[in-house]
Amino acid sequence: MSNTDSPTFGAPGQTELPLLDVRASNARTALDDPAGLPDPIASQLAAAEARATSPDDNPYVAYAIDQLDEIINILNPAAYTRAAFAETLTMLGRHLAERCDELASNAESANESGGEIDGTALQAAADLVSAALDTLDEAIAVLVPDEED
């Protein structure tokens, strides 16, 4: 099972939050192509735009700023608490887990196609990232112990 498939990866309550690249992408989309935002975000912002009382009240810009603030707060929390560190490690770990899955998938494809990319090297990298993610998960558990234990 990959780390992204594991329901226990990371701090409790953090596994359903959007990944950092998704937040960044949505912020960019809100600024340059609002129609490209996924629902329910698009419909919520369109409704907010319809309620705006001033041309300066741009919900798309406000949304983009909020998303960027969230990314900054996740990567560099204002308060250095165990929970904040766990959130940072969880979000970074989830992103790494996604890349790990991509490495493994590309390794499999490369081995099947016999193409230019060495699937063995990709799989070795995926295995190392997976081991690092296991260690990262242990660090998160130290910061925010599971209360059932």
pLDDT digits (tens, 9 = 90+) for 63-101: 999 999 999 988 999 888 998 999 899 999 998 999 999
In 3D, which of 74, 60, 76, 77 has the Cα closest to residue 26?
60
> Would you state the pLDDT for residue 1?
31
> Would you state the pLDDT for residue 112?
77
- Under 8 Å between Cβ of 136 and 103: no
Cβ–Cβ contacts within 10 Å for residue 145, how many?
10
Ranges of residues in the chain with a pLDDT under 70 are 1-16, 115-116, 147-149
